[in-house]
Amino acid sequence: MKTNVRHLMMASLAIFAIAGCGKPPQPNVAKETAGQPTTSAPASDEEKKLNVFCWSEYIPQDVLDQFTKETGIKVSVENYASNEEMLAKLLAGGGTYDVIQPSEYVIEGLIKENLLIPIDQAAIPNLKNIAPEFLNMSFDPGNKYTVPYMAGTVGIVVNTDLVKDDIKSFNDVFQDKYKKNIVVLDDAREIVTWALLTQKLPINDITDENLEKVKPILSQWIPLIKVFDSDSPKTALLNGDVAIGVVWGGEGALLLNADKKFKWVIPAEGTHLFVDSLAIPKTAKHPKNAEAFMNFILRPEISQKISDAFPYLNPNIAARELLTAEQRANPASFPSPDEVAKMQTFKDIGGQATKVDELVTSLKAQ
Amino acid sequence: MAGMAVSAAATTAAATYRRRPGLMAWLVLFPLIAWLVIFVIVPTIMLVVLSFGQQTGMGSITFTFTLEHYARAFSWTWLNVLWTSVKYALITTVICLVVGYPVAFFIGRAPASMRNILLTLVMIPFWTSFLIRTYSWITILSKEGLINGFLVSAQIIPEPITLLYTPFASVLGLVYNYLPFMILPIYTSVERLDNAMIEAAYDLGAGPVRAFSQVILPLTAPGLTAGALLVFVPSIAMFAITNLMGGGIPPTIGDVIYKQFTSGRAQPFGAALGTLLLLIFVVCLWVTRRQRED
């Protein structure tokens, strides 16, 4: 009998071990600093609170602390790891968030479903700091609902110590001679997009017919890949376990900073440009504070701090001027205007996401 | 024989003491029951209900009654993924058994003063976060890692060999993480092993092999089954280790379910896969329970 009790205890131990493997969102409350609220305190009667629901590893803690220090508004942060995770929580109505950080294709859907509060541009004068090409974008004409936070792209990183060939395109990457020497993002839609680009097919036209067309390409590519990793694809490259990667621009920029042997390539076929913005969901309790936060984030010296920590493509021109020449010259952070012109943004593909996922999973499992 | 006698005695003892629990007992049990209801029963019901629902393109859930997600689950793609996970879990369980049994036996038969030290050594890895331990394997196994660094500088191999992001690394990670769950239950069985039984076996002319297979093994079987279950069940659904150390290839059922709830935008389908996995666990438990009752 007693043995059974012990086994039961072990079993509960095991449950804790399993429970430990997920990545729970980490609510983390910025400490209210004792100092007097100084400048730019918003003239509103809202309670001094702000609930931010944002990507993990995207807003530096000292930026949040400074916002609290200046305005006296206490910031609570909850993180997510994908747009879909954010959507699921937002739609389930579990939390009340004042600021969310969706990507372009999600914004389109959120606006269509009437889930965002229009912003008062008069409260966000710093919007003038944003480069014109990042304003008035197709997913939110006139910036009625969103302000750009960071943008970025997906590109190729080559370890030139290990690869002597001149890699220029996705087709150059996925060759038999690099079998089991490649890391890519663990993101089914991204992978399908690259294959569509090599076929000159529109990346937002995810029809059954187009998926059927790229299937043979993907079934060639996927067995060549050694690692699928969206969270930190730079690790496999830094450790020398793979020689080529198709990764986020921010990860590429960090690799280029780490070692000169890494080279950044924007694929000749074109690539995906993502724009992450700040928006206020309909259920927000502190929309005025949210607008004050948006304006704060768009301040040049604040935006510069974000770029220092997470070197993505900063849409804030005034902030770019504060960056070092070296930071601005990093081709993974700041692609040339010609390269940007060839990039495309994602549109919402709704239920087709399921088919994209099944296609890639079935090929991975082979 | 002896095993049967012991369990028969236990059953009679239990029958003698079985009576209706009083108010006090319920009060004492309340936290446990509340815990089970809130964190096990309610989520399980939510999972099952969700598995019959529908998800709109935007991501919101409507509750209908459809069996389409179960129909979809029985296609080759997903059965293949499930089989891969079961295979990994089986290999992990067998290795843990082969490695863990002698260790547990040694600890269980060690002098009492040593036992606690040895047991603590088994438990020490749990003091560190599971993710940190897994990440440290990356620095050990990578091409510029400790093992390759040593082998190359000692000129045992000319060039670094591939260790990380292979099925070998996945299984290594799983065995490393779950080995204590095999050792501890076997240890409790071994600790309780009656020396008189083993001596009797020898007195009656059994050699070491026969004494082990006919006396020791049956007497430690409950610990063995419990250990196998504690390793097998969580190994099937584990995806963090296989993603970090195996590079996410081949995909495991845990990884696939995780993706349905995120980028796949197919929560009901993920719930259906989760429910099927739960059924597999129930069958495992039922089989081992029957085995114990026999």
What single-letter DSSP state applies at residue A217?
Answer: H
Chain B window 136-165: which residues touch A at a Cβ cutoff of 8 Å?
A: 138-139, 142-145, 160, 162, 164-165
- Tokens representing A162 are 């290990």
Q: Is the pLDDT of residue B12 over 60?
A: no
Q: Tell me if A285 sits within 8 A of A98, measured CB to CB.
A: yes
- Tokens representing A227 are 């690692």
Residue range B117-126, pLDDT digits in tens? 999 999 998 8
Average pLDDT, chain B: 88
Residue A350's identity, in one-letter code, is G
| Torsion sign across C-alpha atoms A118, A311, A21, B83 | positive
Chain B window 85-114: which residues touch A at a Cβ cutoff of 8 Å?
A: none
pLDDT of residue B63: 86
Please report which confidence band the pLDDT of residue B16 belongs to, taking 50, 70 and 90 as the band edges.
low
Is A100's Cβ below 8 Å from some Cβ in B? no
Is B32's Cβ below 8 Å from some Cβ in A? no
Chain A window 210-239: which residues touch B at a Cβ cutoff of 8 Å?
A: 225-229, 235-236, 239
- Tokens representing B52 are 């019959």
The number of folded domains in chain B is 1
Question: In terms of Cα–Cα distance, which of B92, B237, B286 is closest to B173?
Answer: B92
pLDDT of residue A227: 95
Is B84's Cβ below 8 Å from some Cβ in A? yes
ipTM of the complex: 0.84
**CB contacts, 8 Å: A18 with chain B:** 234, 237-238
Please report which confidence band the pLDDT of residue B8 belongs to, taking 50, 70 and 90 as the band edges.
very low
CA–CA gap between residue A236 and residue B145 (Å, rounded): 11
Interchain CB distance below 8 Å, B248 and A229: yes
> What's the residue count for chain B?
294
Helix H or strand E encompassing B130: helix B130-141
Interchain CB distance below 8 Å, A1 and B248: no
Interchain CB distance below 8 Å, A235 and B138: yes
Question: In terms of Cα–Cα distance, which of A92, A87, A91 is closest to A107?
Answer: A87
Interchain CB distance below 8 Å, A186 and B248: yes
Q: Tell me if B187 sits within 8 A of B119, measured CB to CB.
A: yes
Residue of A nearest to B182 (CA): A10
SS in 3 state form for B7-73?
Answer: HHHHHHHHHHHCCCCCHHHHHHHHHHHHHHHHHHHHHHHHHHHHCCCEECCCCCEECCCCCHHHHHH
CA–CA gap between residue B242 and residue B169 (Å, rounded): 8
A347 by DSSP, 3-state: which?
Answer: coil
Helix H or strand E encompassing A309: helix A300-309
Provide DSSP, A96-148.
--SEE--BHHHHHHHHHTT-BPPP-GGG-GGGGGB-GGGSS-TTSGGGSSEEE
Residue A145 main-chain phi, psi, to 5 deg:
-120, -20
* In a domain? residue B266: yes
Please report which confidence band the pLDDT of residue B17 belongs to, taking 50, 70 and 90 as the band edges.
low
Task: Give the mean pLDDT of B128-134.
Answer: 90
* In a domain? residue B51: no
Is B274's Cβ below 8 Å from some Cβ in A? no
Residue A261's identity, in one-letter code, is K
What is the residue range of B220's domain?
79-293
Contacts of A345 (CB under 8 A, 6+ apart): A104, A105, A137, A138, A139, A272, A273, A274, A275
- Tokens representing B131 are 């993710």
* In a domain? residue B135: yes
Question: In terms of Cα–Cα distance, which of A343, A308, A328, A310 is closest to A153?
Answer: A343
pLDDT of residue A85: 82
Beta-carbon-side half-sphere exposure of residue A334 (alpha carbons within 13 Å): 17
**CB contacts, 8 Å: A365 with chain B:** 77, 80-81, 84, 250-251
Buried b (16+ CB within 10 A) or exposed e, B190-217: bbebeeeebeebeeeebeeeebeeebbe
Q: Is the pLDDT of residue B285 over 90?
A: no
Q: What is the mean pLDDT of each run of 10 residues along chain A (366 residues)?
A: 41 42 40 41 74 92 96 94 84 85 92 92 95 92 96 96 95 96 94 96 94 96 94 92 95 94 95 95 94 97 94 95 93 90 88 90 90
Q: Tell me if A20 sits within 8 A of B241, measured CB to CB.
A: no
Q: Tell me if A81 sits within 8 A of A331, measured CB to CB.
A: no
Chain A nearest CA to B205, separation (Å) = 30
Residue range B82-124, pLDDT digits in tens? 999 999 999 999 999 999 999 999 999 999 889 999 999 999 9
pLDDT of residue B61: 82
CATH number, domain A152-273+343-364: 3.40.190.10
pLDDT of residue A11: 44
Residue B235 main-chain phi, psi, to 5 deg:
-65, -35
Residue range B35-87, pLDDT digits in tens? 999 999 999 999 999 999 998 777 778 888 999 999 999 998 899 999 999 99
* In a domain? residue B215: yes
* In a domain? residue B93: yes
What CATH number is attached to the domain comprising B135? 1.10.3720.10
What single-letter DSSP state applies at residue A241?
Answer: S
CA–CA gap between residue B127 and residue B180 (Å, rounded): 13
For tokens 């579990």, the residue is: A94
- Tokens representing A348 are 């919402």
CA–CA gap between residue A82 and residue B262 (Å, rounded): 7
Q: Is the pLDDT of residue B14 over 70?
A: no
Chain B nearest CA to A91, separation (Å) = 6
Residue range B155-189, pLDDT digits in tens? 999 989 999 999 999 999 999 999 999 999 999 99
Residue ranges per structural domain of chain A: 39-150+275-334, 152-273+343-364
Provide DSSP, A22-80.
S-----EEPPPPSSPP-S------S-SEEEEEEETTSS-HHHHHHHHHHH--EEEEEEE
| Torsion sign across C-alpha atoms A93, A94, A96, A99 | negative
CATH number, domain A39-150+275-334: 3.40.190.10
